[in-house]
Copies of this chain bind each other. A is one copy, B any other.
Amino acid sequence: MTYYDVSMAIKPDIQVYKNKPEKRPVFIEAATHDVAGVYETLIHLNLHTGTHMDFSLHMKKDGKTSTNFDFTRLIRDVKVFDLTHVKDGITKDDLIDFDINPGDFVLLKTRNSYEDTFNFEFIFLAESGSTFLKDKKVVGVGIDALGVERNQKGYPTHNTLFDHDIIIIEGLRLKDVKEGNYHMIALPIKIEAVEALPLRVVLYDVRKNPISNNQ
C-alpha cells in the first residue's frame, strides 16, 4: 500500500469536541426505499466535525471564509513530524530540531492519533510553537486534534496562524504514518462563505506519484 487515508470517519459515534452533544452529527432518513423508491440521508453536520480546515472567521468577526479558497494549496508535499512523546502543548523547544524551511507544510503527529474518544487533555500546538512555525515561514499546519489549541486565552495559536495566512487542518489521523516526507492530496467540499470545511486528506509515499502510477 502506497497511500494513507489520514481522515477521520464521520459516523454517529465519532468523537466531538468536549463531547458536546450538540456537536454530534445526526443522520436522518430523508427518503426510504419503501416510501420513495430511493434511499437518501440528510446529515446535520457541524463543519468542525472530523477532519476539517478552519478559516479566520472561526475566531475573528471580520475574518475570511471558505469563498475563493485556492484548493491547489492542499495538493503538494508535506512533512510529518513525530511528536508522540509530547505530553501537553507542542512548544518551540519541541520543534526546534526539525528541518523546517520556508514554504513547508507540516503535519504534527501526536498521541492524539491513537485515541478514538475525546481527551480533554489532548495534545495541541502551544503559542510558542505557533510563533516558531510562523517565523520559519511554514504555509500550513495540520494536527491530529479536533482543535489546534486548547485553554489558551485569546486563541493565540489560531490567531498567529490566521494572521500569516497559514492553513490550519484539524482532526487528522496519523497513527499509520511514520515521520517523513509525503505527497498530500487534500480536498475540502465546496461550501461557500463558511468558517470551516470538512475535507479528505490522503498521503502518498513521496517516491510514488499517484497520478503517474495508477494508469
A interface residue numbers (CB < 8 A to B) = 3, 5, 7-11, 22-23, 27, 30, 33, 37-48, 50-51, 57-61, 63, 71-72, 75-77, 155, 183, 185-196, 198-200, 202, 204, 209-212, 214-215
Contacts and interface: CB of A to CB of B under 8 A. Distances in A.
A214 B77 CA distance: 9
B183 A185 contact: no
Chain A interface, DSSP helix/strand/loop, else mixed: mixed
Closest 6 CB pairs of A and B: A187-B200, A187-B187, A11-B192, A10-B191, A7-B190, A189-B198
A190 B51 contact: yes
Contacts of A63: 39
Most buried by B among A38, A195, A211: A211
A27 B46 CA distance: 10
Contact of A44 (B8, B44, B209, B210): B44
B191 A11 contact: yes
A190 B200 contact: yes
5 contacts: A9-B190, A11-B191, A27-B194, A75-B210, A188-B200
A115 B155 CA distance: 43
A63 B32 CA distance: 13
Contact of A210 (B72, B190, B202, B214): B72
Nearest to A8: B190
Contacts of A40: 46-48, 58, 195-196
